[in-house]
A and B are shown apart, each in its own frame.
Chain A
Amino acid sequence: MMPADYIDQHTSAQVAQGQLTKEDVKRMKELYGIGDSSFSGIMKSYGQWLSKAVRGDFGVSFVYGRPVQEVIQKYMWISFTISLIALILNILISIPLGIVAATKQYGVVDYTVTILAMTGISLPSFFFGALLLRVFSIQLGWFPLQGLSDATKILTGPEQVLDVIHHMVLPMVTLVVLSIGGLMRYTRTNMLEVLNSDYIRTARAKGLSEKTVIYKHAFRNTLIPIVTMLGGSIPGLFGGAMITETVFAIPGIGSTSYKAILQGDIPFVMGYMMFLAVLTVLGTILADISYAIVDPRVKLQ
């Protein structure tokens, strides 16, 4: 249990002013189930949490006053939408780039793409986000600074949708730029491996055009590991991007859970951690299954 105590945080002012006594605070803590801070007490709370969690009850969030699953579900979709669009853009950009880089190995294009992709991987999200905000929303004023909707106007219908999209551009760019490198390099490595294989030599020996060789014979085989990787990454989209969401103040699951950690909202944090762990496991399973689906040579036992 976290010592950054929710009750202490909220009552310290009143205790100091004498509006609440120590006994009141203690009673409240008991109510929230964090009264006993001895080792056995903590272990007991963990046990209680576990036995309830197995039955699908993750407790009630301190801050939001509602069941943890509900809170997670509410914020999850915002994160999922942003991440999904970012993933699609990422696929559309990085796979062609990876293929071009592989076919022109050690050429100018390859070096440029590789350097750009590596820079993308190396950028810390908070720094890149700050740079984007500095240039595009403060200096040029093209995009709003924070949040997901314009607070000064009440919009409905298509205007509202456009407004949300307008707010989403910068965070999405951040996510895409940061993730392009990984997928692009993955594509490149796999493409290189495929291009060195015997059946590509056979295809070339048959006199097929370079285009057919690359896009029909090589590309399809490159797709196997890529689809596997993407299949595995889908559950992770629900987990949200903690830092990016915090920088752009997007009310997604990532920034919500970050706030919850700081506020000591124990049930929510426990639920979120569990959620992430389950997502990871699901991702691994999906990757295995999609591997078997895409590659007929692999059979699930």
Chain B
Amino acid sequence: MSKENNTNVQAAELEHESLSDSVRALSPTRLVVKRFFRSRLSMVGLIIIIFLFLFSFVGPLLIPYRETQVFTIPTEVKVSTAESFTGADGKKYQYYDVSTGIDNYKSAPSKDHWLGTDTNGMDVFVRLMYGGRISLSISFLVIFLETILGVIFGGISGFFGGKIDMLIMRIVDILNCIPTLPVLIVLSSVLNAMPVSVMPVGHRIYYLMGFLTLIGWSGTARMVRGQILSLREQEYMVAAEATGISSKAKIFRHLIPNVMPQLIVQMTLGLGGVILYEATLSYLGLGVQIPKAAWGTMISLADPSKGQSILQYYPNLWIPPGILIVLAVLGFNFVGDGLRDAIDPKMKR
């Protein structure tokens, strides 16, 4: 009897325990992580980004070719020539001749070179990896610096208000009016004209991206300012004020952590934009220069104004980098969207 009672108690306790287990409160961070991983699209995005990182940072270690290694692979190509002559009857004749020539470059995809070689005889597949390195590292750098600038200026503006706020917000307004792409192109032609001793060709893209940072922080600053303005009205901030803590503690202990979620979302969504800017500049021939590889530069081979032959006959040279750009931007957008949905508690599933 007593034994039975005992087991009953035990069972009740167990049940109680399992109940408390199942309703155990999750910390907000865990909730966000859980919501994030439940969304399919954000998982897809995460996988794409991890794949791209492995591809461009680990990939080159596994392949013996170097970025600028030239492979001369003779391939037979049809060379058509046309000649005209004036015949005995006084008419003009034209004859066409198709012969086979040897082209050492632009070899077709093969077992050694999965995507063939480009117009300079460099391996396309390996250059895709190095292009990814440039794109990913530059975009992270730009977004990181932009966010720091944005948080500093937006924070000052929202926290102190008054004349400083006025001044910073007018600067932000002016920056918003600057057409980014045209200004970047102008700047790159300025850099173009500088002597190589002052401005090494390989460094140009970093200066351009630095400039992109300088005019790109306005969005972040505006967001941070708005957040801080609304946070200041919250009860817990009033309570923090009442305890008499220093403004430094207020900023770093209370305001920044609360702005952080939105900041991370904005950073993720911004990454795709920077990748597109970098690719566009490289496509126009103003960004990363050959022999350095960049996705945009690789696509520019297909520019119809430079002749159609690559656009028509060598899709292996320009379609893969395009797909990678799309994947990268898409991945960051998916992850950013997923994060936003996960962080925003109003969006219930």
Q: Indicate if A115 sits at the interface (CB-CB under 8 A).
A: yes
B283 touches A126 (CB 8 A): yes
For the A-B complex with A114-B41, A127-B326, A281-B177 known, give 18 more contacts whose Cβ atoms are closer than 8 Å.
A3-B190, A4-B189, A4-B192, A106-B349, A111-B41, A119-B326, A127-B322, A130-B318, A131-B322, A133-B304, A138-B308, A246-B284, A247-B304, A258-B284, A261-B186, A276-B179, A280-B177, A280-B179
Contact with A along B299-313 (1 / 0, CB 8 A): 110111100100110
A to B CB contacts below 8 Å, 15 in the list? A3-B189, A4-B190, A119-B326, A122-B329, A124-B283, A124-B299, A126-B299, A130-B304, A242-B182, A243-B181, A243-B283, A243-B284, A246-B305, A276-B182, A277-B179
A-B interface, 9 closest residue pairs, ranked by CB to CB distance from nearest = A3-B193, A122-B329, A127-B322, A276-B179, A277-B177, A122-B330, A4-B189, A280-B177, A130-B302
Q: In the assembly, what is the distance between CA of A243 and CA of B179, in Å?
A: 14
Interface 1/0s, chain B 257-285, versus A by CB < 8 A? 00000000000000010001001100110
Q: Which residues on the A side are within 8 Å of B305 (C-beta)? A: 146, 246, 249
- Per the CB 8 Å criterion, the residue count for chain B at the interface is 46
Write the nearest CB–CB distance from B174 to chain A, whole angstroms: 9
Chain B contacts for A121, CB-based, 8 A: 272, 329, 333
Checking B41, B308, B322, B347 against A115 with a beta-carbon cut-off of 8 angstroms, the contacting residue is B41
Give which listed residue, B176, B185, B322, B347, contacts A124 with CB less than 8 A: B322
Nearest to A278 among chain B residues (CB) is B177
Contacts of A109-166 to chain B: CB distance below 8 A:
111, 114-115, 118-119, 121-127, 130-131, 133-134, 138, 145-146
Q: How large, as a class, is the contact surface on chain A?
A: 35 or more
Q: Which interface residue of B179, B193, B279 has the most chain A CB atoms within 10 A?
A: B179
Across the interface, which residues of B come within 8 angstroms of A242, CB to CB? 181-182
Q: Any chain A CB within 8 A of the CB of B315? A: yes
Most buried by B among A130, A146, A273: A130
Q: CA of A281 to CA of B185 in the docked complex: distance in angstroms?
A: 22
Distance (Å) between the CB of A125 and the closest chain B CB?
8
Question: Residues of B with Cβ closer than 8 Å to A?
Answer: 40-41, 176-179, 181-183, 185-186, 189-190, 192-194, 272, 276, 279-280, 283-284, 296, 299-300, 302-305, 308, 311-312, 315, 318-319, 322, 325-327, 329-330, 333-334, 337, 347, 349
Q: Is the CB of A124 within 8 A of B186?
A: no
CA of A233 to CA of B22 in the docked complex: distance in angstroms?
51
In Å, the complex CA distance between A115 and B39 comes to 13
Docked complex Cα distance between A26 and B313 (Å) = 48
Minimum C-beta distance from A49 to chain B (A): 15
**How far is A246 from B189 in the complex, measured between Cα atoms in Å?**
17
Q: How far is the CA of A134 from the CA of B280 in the complex (A)?
A: 19
Chain A residues whose C-beta falls within 8 Å of the C-beta of B322 in the assembled complex: 124, 127, 130-131
Q: Which of A130, A273, A276 contacts B311 (CB 8 A)?
A: A130
Contact A2 B189 (CB under 8 A): yes
Contact with B along A202-235 (1 / 0, CB 8 A): 0000000000000000000000000000000000
A34 interfacial by beta-carbon distance below 8 Å: no
Asked if B303 and A273 sit within 8 Å, CB to CB, the answer is no
CB proximity to B under 8 Å, residues A230-273: 239, 242-243, 246-247, 249, 257-258, 261-262, 264, 269, 272-273
A121–B347 Cα distance when bound, in Å, is 23
- Are B333 and A134 closer than 8 Å at their CB atoms? no
Contacting residues, chain B, for A249 (C-beta < 8 A)? 304-305
Closest Cβ–Cβ distance, residue B339 to chain A (whole Å): 15
